[in-house]
Chains A and B, each alone.
Chain A
Amino acid sequence: MSEPILQVQNLTMDFGGIRALNKLDITVHSGEIAALIGPNGAGKTTFFNCVTGIYKPTAGDVFLTPGKGEKPVSIKGLKPNIVTGKGLSRTFQNIRLFPKMTVLENVMIGRHCRTKTFILGAIFRPPRARREEREILLHSYRLLEKVGLAAFANDFAENLSYGAQRRLEIARALATEPHLLLLDEPAAGMNPQETEDLNALIREIAAEGLAVLLIEHDMKLVMSLSQRIFVVDYGSKIAEGTPKEIRSNPAVIKAYLGE
C-alpha cells in the first residue's frame, strides 16, 4: 500500500447539541480513488467542510501530506485558503462557480494560490508579472481542454449547462495543483452520457497520480470508480472496504434500506 495522503483521526463536529460527525477515522492513500457514501444528512458534506477548513471541527485531527515524500502536517482549524495552498482542493455539492466571470477566468482563479503578483505588479506589469500572467492563462486553458470546455472559454460561467458547470468546477479545483481532490456529488444532475464522461475524466485525473475522494449517490459510478469506500450514517463510519465488501455489508444495507 502506498503512503497515506489524508489521515483523519477521531474527527468530531458538533452544531450546538447536534453531533454531525462522530469520531470519524478516514485515511486516503496517494493515487487512489476513494468514495464516501451514506444516506442524505449523514454528514458527508460536513466532513468535507471540516477537512477543507470551512468549519472548525470540535475534536479530532486532520493530517495532509503536502507532496511526495514529505511529512504529514496537521491542517485542522487552518483557513480554507491555507488548506488549499497545502494541496487539498474541492468542488461543491451546490455548484459554486463565479457566475459573472468567464469560464476561463473561473479556472484562472484557481491559479491564485500558486502565483504572487499583487498591487504593484498588477499596475506596473514587470516582466515577471507578465510571465506569471501568461503561465496562468496557458495552464488554465490546458485544463479547460482537458475537461472539454475550451470552446466556451469566453462565455459567462452561468450560461453553461449543468453538467458543464460541474466539469468547470473540477477544472477550477485542478488549477490549484492539489495532491488530493475532494469531489462533492460530481454526477448530481448529470445525464447517463455526462456521467460516463465524468467517469473517464476522474480516471484520467487519478492516472496522473492525484488522489480523489468523492461523495456520490450514483452507486454505479461509485462502484466502478473507487478502490475503497467509506460508509457514514448519522455522522459515524459504519463500514469501510472495497466495493465488493461494501455491497454485501449488512450494516450498509440496513442504513440504506432500513430493517
Chain B
Amino acid sequence: MLRLRKYEEEEMITAKDIRRILLVSGWFMILTLPILGMRVDPLSDNILWRLKNVMWVGLGTVVLQSLPHLWHLYLYLQAGMIRLWHHLMGTPPHKIVEKTAHRDSLINRVITNPRQRAILCAVVLTLTIIYPQVVNEYQINIMIMAFLYIMLGLGLNIVVGMAGLLDLGFVAFYAVGAYTYALLNLHYGINFWMALPLGGIFAGIFGLLLGFPILRLRGDYLAIVTLGFGEIIRVILENWIELTHGVAGIVNIPGPTFFGLGLTPSQKILYLYYLMVLFVVITIFVVNRLQDSRLGRAWLALREDEIACQAMGIDKRRTKLAAFSLGAFWAGIAGVVFAAQNRSVYPVSFSFLESAMILSIVVLGGMGSIVGVILGALILILLPEYLRELSQYRMLFFGAILVLMMIFRPQGLISVVRRKYDIDSIKAEEKEGGA
C-alpha cells in the first residue's frame, strides 16, 4: 500500500528537472565541441565543423539523464496497473504488496536455505562437469580462464570485500605466483604440483611484506600504496633481466602432470579444466568457512569500525595481516595455474588493468558475496569473449557498467546476506547445557 502510494504521489518530472537536464546537456555540448565538433583539415588549413556529432552528444546526455525519470514513470504505471488489476478482481491491493515488500533476492533466499542450496550446488556442479563434453576446446579454454578469475576474485574478496582493505595491486601476488613456478621450473625443474603450494606461500609472504608497512593506512592512502606496489613488481619483472628475462618472458613451462602419465593435448585441456573445477570448489569451500568463523567476523568488524573493533579486543594488526596474506596466497596459487595453462609468463600479463579487472569482478558481483563474485567473474570474462566483434567498445562497455552499477546497485549484483542463526536450536542447546 505504502509502496504504491509513494510513486503515485510524487511528481514524475518537474520544470526544475527539465531545466537541469537541458543545462547539463548544453554544458556537455560546449565541453565536447573542441574534440568532437571541430576538425582541422591539414590540407586546406580549414576548420571543418562537425556539429552533428555535438548534437548527438547533447541528445545522448538528455536521454541518459531522463533514464531515472523513465524508471519512475515505469513504477508509476506499474503501480497503476496493480491497482487496476485489484480493482477488477475485487481484492484489496495491500495484501500483494505486503508479500512482495522487503524480501531478500531470490538467489539469497535459495542460498540461505540449506536444502535448496544443496540442490543448486549439485545442479551447478553437474553442469560444470558435463560442460566440456558438449563444447569445443576453445570454449573450454575460455571457461578455464573464467575459473581462474573466480579464484582471483574470491581471493581479492577476502581483502576488499570482507576486511574492507582496498587493494589496487592485487595482480602483484598473481605475478609472484606465476613467476615462482616459471623460475623454479626453469632453474630447478620443479613440477606443477610442487610449485603450487610454493607459489601460494611465496605470494603469501609478499602479502605479509606489503602488509606490515601499510597497517596504519586506510581508504585512499591504502589504495595508492597497493597500486604502487603492483607497479613495482611489474617494473622489476620487466627490468631484472638476468632473473626474469625481462619483457621476453619465460617460455616452455610445462603444464600440470597427471601421475606421470603422458596426455594428448586435448586430454591436457580437459585435465586442466577439471583441475580448475576442483580448485574453484576448494576455494569456495574455504572462503565460505572463513566467512562464518571467528576470523571472518573479525574481518567484517574491521571493515565496519576499526576503533570499536580494537576496543572489543581484536588485534588489528594480526587480523589485517591474515587477510592480506590469505588473499595473496590465493592469488599466488592462481598465478601458478596461469603459468601452467599459458605455458609462458610475460610481465605484460600483470599490468594494472588486470588488478582493475579483478577488482571490478568483486565490485560488480557484490563485495563479500561468494555467489556475487562468481557471477561477476563469469560476466566480465565470458561476455567480452562472446562479444568479440564489439571488442573495440569493450572499455566503453566496462565503464558504462561500472557507472550504472554505482547508481543503481552500489551493493553489487548480489548483496551480502549474513548468516542467520537458528534461534530455536540455540535455545534447545541452552536448555541441555543448563540441565
Binding site for B on A (CB under 8 A): 52, 54, 79-81, 84-85, 89-90, 92, 96-102, 104-105, 108-115, 117-119, 121-123, 125, 129, 132-134, 136-138, 141-142, 150, 153-154, 156, 172-173, 175-176
Is the CB–CB distance between B289 and A125 below 8 Å? yes
Q: Are A123 and B308 in contact (CB under 8 A)?
A: no
Give chain A residues whose Cβ lies under 8 Å from the Cβ of B427.
141
Whether A104 contacts B421 by the Cβ 8 Å rule is: yes
Interface pairs (29), CB distance under 8 Å: A54-B307, A79-B315, A80-B310, A81-B312, A89-B312, A96-B311, A97-B304, A97-B305, A97-B308, A100-B418, A101-B418, A102-B421, A105-B297, A109-B298, A110-B312, A110-B313, A112-B294, A113-B313, A117-B294, A118-B294, A118-B322, A119-B326, A122-B290, A122-B294, A123-B290, A138-B433, A153-B421, A154-B421, A172-B312
Say which residue of B295, B311, B314 sits within 8 Å of A118 (CB atoms).
B295
Q: Establish whether residues B311 and A54, one from each chain, have CB atoms under 8 Å apart when the complex forms.
A: yes
Q: Say if the beta carbon of B245 comes within 8 Å of chain A.
A: no
Tell yes or no: B78 within 8 A of A by CB.
no
Whole-angstrom distance from the CB of B217 to the nearest CB of chain A? Answer: 18
* B314 partner, pick from A81, A101, A102, A175, beta carbons under 8 A: A81
Apart from the given pairs A96-B307, A122-B293, 14 other A-B contacts in the complex at a CB distance below 8 Å: A81-B311, A81-B315, A84-B311, A96-B305, A97-B308, A102-B418, A102-B420, A113-B313, A113-B314, A123-B290, A133-B293, A136-B294, A154-B423, A172-B312
Cα–Cα distance between A84 and B433 once the two chains are bound (Å): 28
Contact status B423-A98, CB under 8 Å = no
Quick one: closest B residue to A91, CB to CB?
Answer: B311
Q: Is the CB of A112 within 8 A of B326?
A: no
Q: Which residues of B contact A176 (CB under 8 A)?
A: 312-313
A109 to B293, Cβ gap below 8 A?
no
**Contacts A84-B311, A85-B313, A138-B433 hold; do A119 and B295 have CB atoms under 8 A apart?**
yes
Q: Is the CB of B429 closer than 8 A to any CB of chain A?
A: yes
Contact B308 A92 (CB under 8 A): yes
Asked if B224 lies at the interface with its beta carbon under 8 angstroms from chain A, I say no
B101 contacts A by Cβ under 8 Å: no
| Alpha-carbon gap, A52 to B312, bound state (A) | 10
Among B286, B293, B430, the most chain A Cβ lie within 10 Å of the Cβ of B293
Chain A residues with CB under 8 A of B433: 138
**Which residues in B have their C-beta under 8 angstroms from that of A117?**
293-295
Please classify how large the interface on chain B is, using the bins under 10, 10 to 19, 20 to 34, 35 or more.
Answer: 35 or more
Interface centre among B294, B297, B311, B429 (most CB of A within 10 A): B311
Q: How far is the CA of A112 from the CA of B322 in the complex (A)?
A: 15
With A105-B418, A137-B421, A138-B426 known as contacts, the answer to whether A112 contacts B305 (CB < 8 A) is no
Pick the most buried of B294, B300, B307, B314: most chain A CB atoms within 10 A of its CB.
B294
Q: Are A119 and B322 in contact (CB-based, < 8 A)? A: yes
Query: Binding site of B, secondary structure by majority: helix, strand, loop or mixed?
Result: helix
| B316 interface residue per 8 A CB criterion | yes
In the assembled complex, which residues on chain A have CB atoms less than 8 Å from the CB atom of B296? 122
Residues on A with C-beta less than 8 A from B295 are 117-119, 122
Within 8 A of A (CB), among B309-343: 309-316, 322, 326
- CA of A110 to CA of B322 in the docked complex: distance in angstroms? 19
Residue of B nearest to A178 (CB): B313
Residues of B within 8 A of A150 (CB): 423
Give the Cβ gap from A33 to chain B, nearest Cβ, in Å.
Answer: 21
A81 touching B310, Cβ below 8 Å = yes
Smallest Cβ distance from A184 to chain B, in angstroms? 11
- For residue B301, which residues in chain A have a CB less than 8 angstroms away from its CB? 98, 101, 109
Q: Which 8 A-B pairs have the closest CB atoms?
A: A113-B313, A122-B293, A84-B313, A96-B308, A98-B304, A80-B310, A154-B420, A117-B294
Q: How far is the CA of A112 from the CA of B295 in the complex (A)?
A: 9
User: What is the bound-complex CA distance between A218 and B298, given in angstroms?
Assistant: 34
A110 and B310 alpha carbons, distance in the complex (Å): 10
Chain A residues, CB < 8 A from B313: 81, 84-85, 89, 110, 112-114, 176
B266, chain A: closest CB distance, angstroms: 35
Instruction: Select one of B314, B418, B430 contacting A109, CB under 8 A.
Output: B314
Chain A residue at minimum C-beta to C-beta distance from B416: A100
Determine if B326 and A98 form an interchain contact, defined as CB atoms under 8 angstroms apart: no
Q: How far is the CB of A145 from chain B (nearest CB, A)?
A: 9
> Whole-angstrom distance between the alpha carbons of A42 and B344 in the complex?
66
Measured CA separation A141–B428 after assembly (Å) = 12
